[in-house]
Structure 1
Amino acid sequence: MEALLRRTAEAHGLVTAWEEARVPALRAVGRKWESADDRYVEVEHLLSWHVSTALRRTAVTAPGASARAAPVVLARLRGEQHTLPPEALAAGLVERGLPTRTFGAAVPAEALRAAVGRSGPTAAVLWSQSRRTADGVLARQVASTAFGPSGARTVPVVLLAGPGWSARSVTAGMRRPRGLREALDAISALHA
């Protein structure tokens, strides 16, 4: 499985491999599991593990990020268990030479705001798989978190990533990318 995942990404690139092979395979396995009364759950977990491993391997072996570029903060919101889409974004950013600060599951709101205030990211990506985990109040707070000395302060662009966000969640200083390619392009444009 690892070799197949690696060959697919090498042949077609990370984004195409994600959008046209990995996501469809994960969805198919998920549908099989849902329709089989929890049978095949081990297949979904096995596939997820190997996809995660392949994404992290890409992030480690990609060319180094520019030391002068401001980082991109990637966070999964409180209660959020899904990891693969943010991992795909992190791998894609590293592949493009952009530094990331990726947080694990359910980073507390205060810790996220503090990290944004200390690191001065160009963008903060907030991942939410479901409406239950989307936190518009936190998104607005992150979007208004300033970095830098008085007179030269910056605030990050907040990307509301994942299907948990509604269109009405987007306010000033925020974007809602529809997929991996759109998120990578939007963040890359901020660093151009």
Structure 2
Amino acid sequence: MRLLDLLDAARDLDSGAVAGIVVTLTARHGVAATWTGACVPALRRMAAGAGPADIAVEHALTEGIARGLDLASVPRHADIRSNHVLLACAPGEQHELPLKALAAALFERRVGTFSLGAGLPWPALHAATGRTAPSTAVIWAQTAETADAAGLFAVAADFAGTVFAAAGPGWLAAGVAPRLTRAGLAHLTSLDLAISACARVPEPLDMEA
């Protein structure tokens, strides 16, 4: 799915071209297929062979994919549901690209999001949840160091009306995933699973964009 095109554009340091490829692919195949079939393989291949001289190329690829996903997240429907899903990275976590993919995939399904970005402190998440009253809050942790189960439990305990979910490999790496599920918090291990969890709404909703 145009994996080599993405890599070639990144090697040219053309993040705009990377973004254009991502937008084209999402229009043809949808966000989830584009993310899993092109973006993730490109990012993994780049990371596997990256040296100091390739950092700029890796940045061009990441920036281009982020820009393309942002463009794919532009609401195209009048009935986008706001206040539905809150997306944030755990404190200290800077890898927000997977949450951009989730936001774009949810917009395809007319599900609105609040995307609060990287490194959100727990008090800020607590305040944002109280202010927006989302039905679901997804917290991303890429590494074991940022997978703070205690912090997530503390916030979730104050908002019975919000389903809190942990996403990202950090929760598994930290060995806290079983604790999350025992406590009733969802542990989302794939984009498709996250979409299914976040797209559940109380009224019927056409899930085809």
**Structure-2-length-normalised TM-score:** 0.80
- The size of the alignment, in residue pairs, is 181
Offset, 1:106 = 1.1
- Sequence identity percentage: 35
Instruction: Please report how far the alpha carbon of residue 57 of structure 1 lies from its aligned counterpart in structure 2 after TM superposition.
Output: 0.5
Aligned-partner residue type, residue 196 of structure 2 = D
Asked if residue 130 in structure 1 is aligned to residue 140 in structure 2, the reply is no
| 8 Å contact from structure 1 (residues 145, 156) kept in 2 | no
Equivalent residue, structure 1, for 2:35 = 18
Q: Indicate whether 1:178 and 2:151 are aligned.
A: no
Q: Does 1:160 align with 2:166?
A: yes
Aligned-pair distance for 1:62?
3.5
Offset, 1:191: 4.5
Give, in angstroms, the shift of residue 12 of structure 1.
1.2
8 A contact 1:72–1:99 mirrored in 2: yes
How big is the shift at 1:65? 4.9
Q: Is 1:94 equivalent to 2:100 in the alignment?
A: no
What residue in structure 1 maps to residue 44 of structure 2?
Answer: 27
Map of 1:80 onto structure 2: 93
- Match of 1:104, as an amino acid? G
What per-residue deviation string (whole Å, max 9, x for no partner) do you get for residues 102-150 of structure 1? 112211211111111222111110000001001101211232223xxxx
The equivalent residue for 2:127 is 114
Q: CA RMSD in A?
A: 1.7
Is residue 42 of structure 1 aligned with residue 59 of structure 2? no
What's the CA shift string for 1:134-187, capped at 9, x where partnerless? 1101211232223xxxxxxx4211110000012224133311111111100111
Aligned 8 A contact 1:77 1:106 in 2:
yes
In the TM superposition, what whole-angstrom CA distance separates every residue of 1:78-118 from its partner, at most 9, and x where no partner exists?
A: 11111210111111112211121111221121111111122
Judging changes above 3 Å, is the alpha-carbon distance between structure 1 residues 187 and 88 closer, same or farther for their aligned structure 2 residues?
same
Q: What amino acid maps onto 1:51 in structure 2? A: I
Residues 14-23 or 96-105, more deviating: 96-105
Q: Are residues 1:6 and 2:17 paired?
A: no
Q: Distance in 2 between matches of 1:64 and 1:40?
A: 42
Match of 1:58 among 72, 75, 78: 72
Shift of 1:70: 4.1
Q: Which has the higher helix share?
A: 2
Unaligned stretches of 5+ residues in structure 2: 1-16, 204-209
Contact 2:147 2:170 in 1 (8 A): yes
User: What is the CA distance between 1:6 and its match in structure 2?
Assistant: 1.9
User: What are structure 1's unaligned runs of at least 5 residues?
Assistant: 147-153
Change (3 A) 1:64 1:160: farther
8 A contact 1:143–1:173 mirrored in 2 = no
C-alpha contact (below 8 Å) 2:85/2:136 kept by paired residues = yes
User: Per the alignment, in what secondary structure is the counterpart of residue 100 of structure 1?
Assistant: strand
